[in-house]
Amino acid sequence: MESSDIRIVTWTVTAADAAAFSASGESAAAHPSIAGSISNPSMVSARSGRTPLTVERFLRAKGCSHHVLTLLKRTDHGILLNGVWAYGNQPVHPGDEITIRVEEAAGSEQILPRPLPLTIVYEDEDVLVADKPADMPVHPSAGNYENTLANAVMYYYSAKGIPFVFRCVTRLDRDTTGLVLLAKNSLSSAILSGQSAHRQIHREYLAITEGKLPESGTIDAPIARVEGSALMRCIDPEKGERAVTHYQRLALFGRKPPASAWHPDVMVSGTSEACTDPMEPQPLPEVLSLARIHLETGRTHQIRVHMKSIGHPLPGDFLYNPSSVCARTPRQTLHAHRLTFAHPVTGETLSFVSDLPADMRNLLENDYLASPDPFP
């Protein structure tokens, strides 16, 4: 389904909606004489001890932010109650229909459309889920104005003649691959941002770590910016923000033996001996672990910092494990594997999966031995 600069959404008020706004479990509809005799419905709360459900309260409960409500009030017929233009303080009852009209005035004109790789996993009127490749920043920044996911998405919509505002709900580091969630209008952005703030968007990662990772565990260690660095993070119990990472080891991988015991100095393609840095040769570790990781919080570089802190850094991580960067591991071995969230309008649970990318799979299959079919 293609996006549009106008999104019209209709919700039906249920008895549960009305009851949730009444301290006594009763709705304003149960007292028509009171509602009809008071010009200001909000006074019902003060005089009867009940909180009436109004148009604005209903929309806030659905996740509409102050910004979205302001836009709706400024839009011609932006809010309708049973098909009639409505005010925010009008009471609503079970069975009523509330329709909103969300309009996008213009797209993200500062982001240049560029024909870059874009894999769309799912798209409807409200959300887009993309599978981001490695070496692609999400947002434009200094030195990265035309090579980002934002540039690719803007090209996709400009080719359709659709104005689009780039709103990224879940973000990934430049060299982390996998699923990214975008909101396609201000309404879905507000609702999904609320879900994110309440940790209701669930992300699962696959990571390759050095060494024999414990079978499972939780890392609860606060993360802060490294003093004097604009990029690096570190564990800092005093200044850091709480960060919690849960992990489960899926498989262990041992390095394959050299291809030829008679010619140990010969580097054979397809073995770990070929993975060295020409400036400072560093062989791959003897043991790697494949792990499933779930984030309880979402701090910058959280997985990379946490795994290093317990002695199991990610191969290819130029910031936190620079000696491991080589031809076989040119990027951190981290992939956003699964994304689960409630659809911002329908409430339906959506879940998407992106398989382990080829570079991570090739590292394990070409250079290591493991139990049969270790991949999830």
Residue 251 Cα distances to 31, 178, 226, 227, 254, angstroms: 63, 20, 33, 36, 10
Residue 228 Cα distances to 68, 173, 232, 236, 303, angstroms: 38, 20, 9, 14, 21
CA gap 107, 125 in Å, rounded = 16
**Side-chain half-sphere CA neighbours of 136 within 13 A:** 23
- Could you write out the DSSP letters of every residue in 133-158? PSS--SS-BTTBSSSSHHHHHHHHHH
CA gap 98, 93 in Å, rounded = 11
CB atoms near residue 40 (< 10 Å):
8
The catalytic residue among 96, 131, 173, 317 is 173
At residue 55, φ and ψ (nearest 5 deg) are -55, -50
> Is 173 tagged catalytic?
yes
CB atoms near residue 214 (< 10 Å):
12
Enumerate the active-site residues. 173
